[in-house]
Structure 1
């Protein structure tokens, strides 16, 4: 599932199509950079990703997997040691946020990735002008260019900030298996 294609970024920067393999690679790298930034901000994958995890315990009707949110469990295979079940499983699942299931998130993700990929300096240099339009006047036929659109400034063509995706941020707390020590159980104090 592609959130944004290199062709869509090329349209944004007025780059002629079809793209050369070099242009496509540079633009795809900018898209991947924007998605990596989103992944770090959201604390999860911005689009579902297939994950294989070994040594997973079953907890009632669910699985104690490390990645959330879970989109679907693809398979769960019991693990064995010397032919005996270990009580753990190898679980294959898809995890991450799903832009197809949540159109509001999908639109916000697309705006962010498209805006930031198109605003990266090495992408701006690919455009025919090598710069971005700051303002234009039809009757006076004047154009003002800028090389530095400020994210979140509200100006035409300015990319949104990461805070536009904060609503979908995944915050979680993980406690390892087993019983944690009692807070008053320590015998020595610092």
Structure 2
């Protein structure tokens, strides 16, 4: 998986020394991958542009009417062999190959997506031993052998991940989550078309 945030960016925010050791790099990259997969699942679309091919597409005066947006570039448009331009059947159809989607790794408008991935990766359990996530000692006594920690055992507020709803601007519209009922209907209640 191509990451939209580098391991070094996350490591700097956690106070880890850069360049990263292989074991630390693997843990940080796993945290970034988990955060990125969560964001992809929420948005219902990939975070990087993807190449698509669609058949049976007709050209219009405003361009191609394609299923995926935003279209970055059209790679090729080849006339379909079964579609010949005749007066009785209208315009011919094409097989269009194009690249579409958001580019969350470089587009300045998608900076909030990168921020969400970085902040969420910083809170991953694999990175709990990072210097900025360690609990701070508020007081210690030698003879009584007691240690009092700061009440904030989590990272500072600056590292707190933003709410996932802040990324809804890029979420596919009309995307709903539906789960089939797991238990039968109560006695006396019937649902049309149901068991």
Q: Same fold (TM over 0.5)?
A: yes
Secondary structure (helix, strand or coil) at the match of 1:117 reads: helix
What is residue 57 of structure 1 aligned with on the other side? 57
Q: Structure 1, unaligned stretches of length 5 or more?
A: 137-141, 174-188
Is residue 87 from structure 1 mapped to residue 89 from structure 2 by the alignment?
A: no
Q: Distance in 1 between matches of 2:79 and 2:12?
A: 49
Which residue of 165, 168, 173 maps to 1:171? 173
Tell me how far apart the structure 1 counterparts of residues 6 and 131 of structure 2 sit (CA, whole Å): 19
Report deviation, 1:111: 1.5
Deviation string 1:91-126 (CA, Å, 9 cap, x unpaired) is 13232255645x3x433112111100111001223x
Quick one: distance in 2 between partners of 1:8 and 1:98?
15
2:188 counterpart residue number: none
Shift in Å, 1:76: 2.5
Partner of 2:36: 35
Moved more, 30-39 or 154-163: 154-163
**1:116 aligned onto 2:120:** yes
Q: Take 1:3 and 1:77, find their aligned partners in 2: how far apart are those partners?
A: 33
For structure 2, the 5+ residue unaligned runs are 85-91, 139-148, 176-191
Select the structure that is richer in strand: 1
Tell me which residue corresponds to 2:153. 146
Give the number of equivalent residue pairs. 159
Query: Residue 119 and residue 135 in structure 1: after superposition, are their counterparts in 2 closer, same or farther (change >3 A)?
Result: farther
TM-score, with length taken from structure 2: 0.63
RMSD: 3.5
Aligned residues of 1:79 and 1:90 also touching (Cα < 8 A): no
